[in-house]
C-alpha cells in the first residue's frame, strides 16, 4: 500500500480533557461576569442566613426587606448611571433626605395637595441634577467636588427648613405609597422593580444607553464619534437626582413623618451596591442586572445581621468591608482579563 493511501487516525480529545476544558471555559465566563458572581452570592447568603435564623425567610421579614430594598436599590441605580459616565454623585443620600423634607413642607406648611407636593419636589431635585451636570460638563468642575457641595447644602437645608424638628401631619397619600401591597408585595418593592426594568431597557436596548457606555469608556473617542457627550452626562445626573427624590417620598410615607436626620450615609450604600454589582469606578462598565443584584445582596446582609442578633453598630463595618472586597475583586478581575486598561 502506498504512502498516499495510508490512513492516519485523527487525534481525539479524551472525554476527561474535554470536560475539563468545558469547566474551564465556564469558570472563565463566570469570572469575567461580575453579575453571575453577585447573583450566586445572593443565593448563598440568603440560604446560609435562612438556615440559621428561621424568621429570616418569613413573609413578614421578606416584606420588610422589600421596602428597605426600594431605598437602597433605587438610589443605587441612579448612582450607577453617573458612575458609568466616569463621574460620582455623593449627594444622593442627603438629597433623598431633603426631598422628603420638601415634600412634607409643601404639603403641610404650604397646604399643597400631596400629588402637587411630590411633583414639585421631583422638579426641584431634577434642577439640582441639571446643576450638577452643567457644572461638570461646562465648567469642568470635578464631580466629587460639586456633589459634595450639594451634600453639605442639602443637609443644612433639611435642618434649616425644619429647625431640627420632624414635620408631622403629612397626607395619607404618602403613607399609602409605602404601606400598600399588591398580592402581598409591598408597593415600594414594585417601584424598585419598575426602576430596574426601565433602566435596563434604556441601557441595554437603546442608542442612548450605548452612548452612555461609550462616554464612560472613552469620552474623547465618544465626542469624535459624534455622540452628544455633555447631554448624556447631564442626563445621568438628572436621573440620579430624580430617583433620590422618589426615595425621599417613599421614606416619609413609610415613617409617616419627615425627619431631617434621614438620608445620612445612604450615598455610601448606593456606591457599594453599584460596585458590588460590577460597575467600574472608572466608568464605561456595568450592567443593571448586576446593580440590582448588588443592592439585593447588601440588603440580605444588613437584614441578616439583625436576624442573627448582631449589634447594629457592626453593620457599617460589614458594609465597608463588603465595599472594600468588591473594589479589590473588581480591580483584580479587570487586571487579569485586561479590562479596565485605557
So what's the pLDDT on residue 176?
87
Using pLDDT thresholds of 50, 70 and 90, give the confidence band for residue 6.
Answer: low
So what's the pLDDT on residue 230?
96
> Residue with C-alpha cell 447631554?
231
Nearest in space to 252 (alpha carbons), one of 143, 132, 167: 167
Contacts of 28 (CB under 8 A, 6+ apart): none
Q: What is the mean pLDDT of residues 270-282?
A: 88
> Residue with C-alpha cell 459634595?
148
Instruction: Identify the weakest region by mean pLDDT among 82-86, 248-252, 327-331.
Output: 327-331
Using pLDDT thresholds of 50, 70 and 90, give the confidence band for residue 3.
Answer: very low
Nearest in space to 275 (alpha carbons), one of 61, 76, 68: 76
Residue 1 has pLDDT above 60, yes or no: no
So what's the pLDDT on residue 7?
52
Q: What is the mean pLDDT of residues 185-212?
A: 95
CA distance 274 to 132: 20
3-state secondary structure of 320: helix
CA distance 112 to 121: 12
So what's the pLDDT on residue 188?
94
The residue ranges of every structural domain in the chain are: 59-336
Q: What is the mean pLDDT of residues 101-105?
A: 97
Residue 248 has pLDDT above 90, yes or no: yes
Q: What is the pLDDT of residues 107-148, one digit of tens each?
A: 999 999 999 999 999 999 999 999 999 999 999 999 999 999
Nearest in space to 107 (alpha carbons), one of 253, 9, 219: 253
So what's the pLDDT on residue 196?
97
CA distance 111 to 167: 13
Percent of the chain residues topping a pLDDT of 70: 86
CA distance 206 to 6: 58
Domain at 59-336: CATH code: 1.10.3470
More confident residue, 114 or 164: 114
Residue 179 has pLDDT above 60, yes or no: yes
Contacts of 34 (CB under 8 A, 6+ apart): 277, 278, 290, 330, 333
Query: Helices in the chain by DSSP H: which ranges?
Result: 15-32, 34-52, 59-84, 92-104, 114-138, 143-162, 172-179, 187-205, 207-217, 219-224, 229-255, 266-276, 288-307, 315-336
CB of 294 closer than 8 Å to CB of 83: no
CA distance 100 to 258: 6
Amino acid at each position: 500500500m502506498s504512502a498516499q493511501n495510508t490512513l492516519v487516525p485523527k487525534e481525539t480529545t479524551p472525554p476527561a480533557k474535554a470536560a475539563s476544558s468545558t469547566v474551564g471555559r465556564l469558570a472563565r465566563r463566570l469570572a469575567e461576569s461580575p453579575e453571575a458572581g453577585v447573583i450566586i452570592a445572593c443565593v448563598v447568603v440568603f440560604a446560609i442566613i435562612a438556615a440559621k435564623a428561621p424568621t429570616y425567610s418569613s413573609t413578614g421579614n421578606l416584606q420588610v426587606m422589600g421596602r428597605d430594598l426600594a431605598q437602597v436599590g433605587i438610589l443605587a441605580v441612579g448612582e450607577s448611571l453617573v458612575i458609568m459616565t466616569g463621574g460620582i454623585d455623593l449627594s444622593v443620600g442627603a438629597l433623598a433626605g431633603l426631598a422628603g423634607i420638601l415634600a412634607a413642607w409643601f404639603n403641610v406648611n404650604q397646604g399643597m395637595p400631596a400629588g402637587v407636593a411630590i411633583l414639585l419636589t421631583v422638579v426641584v431635585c431634577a434642577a439640582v441634577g441639571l446643576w450638577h451636570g452643567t457644572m461638570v460638563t461646562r465648567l469642568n468642575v470635578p464631580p466629587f467636588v460639586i456633589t459634595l457641595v450639594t451634600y453639605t447644602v442639602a443637609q443644612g437645608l433639611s435642618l434649616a427648613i425644619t429647625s431640627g424638628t420632624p414635620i408631622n401631619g403629612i397626607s395619607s397619600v404618602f403613607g399609602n405609597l409605602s404601606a400598600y401591597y399588591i398580592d402581598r408585595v409591598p408597593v415600594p418593592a414594585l417601584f424598585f422593580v419598575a426602576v430596574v426594568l426601565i433602566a435596563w431597557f434604556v441601557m441595554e436596548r437603546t442608542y442612548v444607553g450605548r452612548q452612555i457606555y461609550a462616554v464612560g469608556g472613552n469620552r474623547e473617542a465618544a465626542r469624535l464619534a459624534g455622540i452628544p457627550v455633555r447631554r448624556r452626562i447631564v442626563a445621568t445626573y438628572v436621573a440620579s437626582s430624580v430617583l433620590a427624590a422618589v426615595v425621599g417620598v417613599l421614606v416619609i410615607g413609610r415613617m409617616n413623618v419627615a425627619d431631617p436626620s434621614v438620608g445620612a450615609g445612604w450615598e455610601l450604600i448606593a456606591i457599594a451596591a453599584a460596585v458590588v454589582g460590577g460597575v467600574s469606578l472608572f466608568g464605561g462598565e456595568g450592567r443593571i442586572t448586576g446593580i440590582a443584584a448588588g443592592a439585593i445582596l447588601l440588603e440580605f446582609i444588613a437584614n441578616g445581621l439583625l436576624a442573627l442578633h448582631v449589634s447594629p453598630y457592626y453593620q457599617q463595618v460589614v458594609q465597608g468591608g463588603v465595599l472594600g472586597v468588591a473594589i479589590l475583586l473588581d480591580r483584580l478581575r479587570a487586571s487579569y482579563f485586561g479590562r479596565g486598561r485605557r
